[in-house]
């Protein structure tokens, strides 16, 4: 479920506090690796009632320097969309080579939807749905696809 659709008041505050303490301990060592940066990204997502997307993007930029994989680039693109808008994210997405990954097409569909290209978004959702192997993810994508009316 996308972060924007979650009810943060239902999150387990004790587990979040424990996770944040672990992240702080790891970061105090001053040698953050990919796992520590991923944990920091998760910690920022749980901080407050809104996500600090510029901070998330900064962390993904750092993570990408350590782990320059297409999947990290894809996740970074989501942060780019929140900070710089969907058109900028579409530009970045074009450089990522993940044609067989359903999440690539799901992100592509969402970005296209956000700039008003609903027919293209519908086609991208169709591809994401066809590649998804998890029934829950497939149903989620189908719900979003159905809102487009194409």
150 and 122 Cβ atoms separated by less than 8 Å: yes
What is the C-alpha radius of gyration for the chain, rounded to an integer number of angstroms? 16
- Kindly tell me if the per-residue pLDDT of 3 is higher than 60: no
The pLDDT tens digits of the residues spanning 91-131 come to: 999 999 999 999 999 999 999 999 999 999 999 999 999 99
Which pTM does this prediction carry? 0.82
Q: What domains sit in the chain, N to C, each tagged with a CATH number? A: 9-68 (no CATH), 69-150 (1.25.40)
Report d(CA 54, CA 79) in Å as an integer: 8
Alpha-helical (H) ranges within 29-134 are 34-45, 53-66, 70-84, 86-93, 102-114, 118-131
In order of 67, 72, 141, the CA distances from 105 in angstroms are 22, 15, 10
What confidence category does residue 18 fall into, taking pLDDT thresholds of 50, 70 and 90?
low
Please tell me the distance from the alpha carbon of residue 123 to that of residue 106, in angstroms, as a whole number. 10
């Amino acid at each position: 479920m996308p972060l924007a659709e979650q009810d943060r008041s239902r999150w387990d505050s004790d587990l979040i506090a424990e996770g944040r303490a672990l992240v702080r301990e790891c970061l105090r060592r001053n040698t953050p690796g990919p796992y520590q940066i991923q944990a920091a990204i998760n910690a920022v997502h749980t901080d407050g009632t809104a996500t600090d997307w510029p901070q998330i993007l900064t962390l993904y930029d750092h993570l990408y320097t350590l782990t320059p994989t297409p999947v990290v680039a894809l996740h970074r693109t989501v942060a780019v969309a929140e900070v710089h808008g969907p058109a900028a994210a579409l530009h970045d997405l074009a450089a990522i080579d993940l044609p067989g990954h359903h999440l690539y097409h799901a992100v592509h569909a969402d970005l296209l939807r956000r700039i008003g290209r609903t027919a293209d978004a519908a086609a991208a959702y169709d591809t994401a749905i066809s590649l998804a192997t998890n029934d829950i993810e497939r149903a989620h994508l189908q719900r979003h696809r159905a809102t487009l009316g194409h």
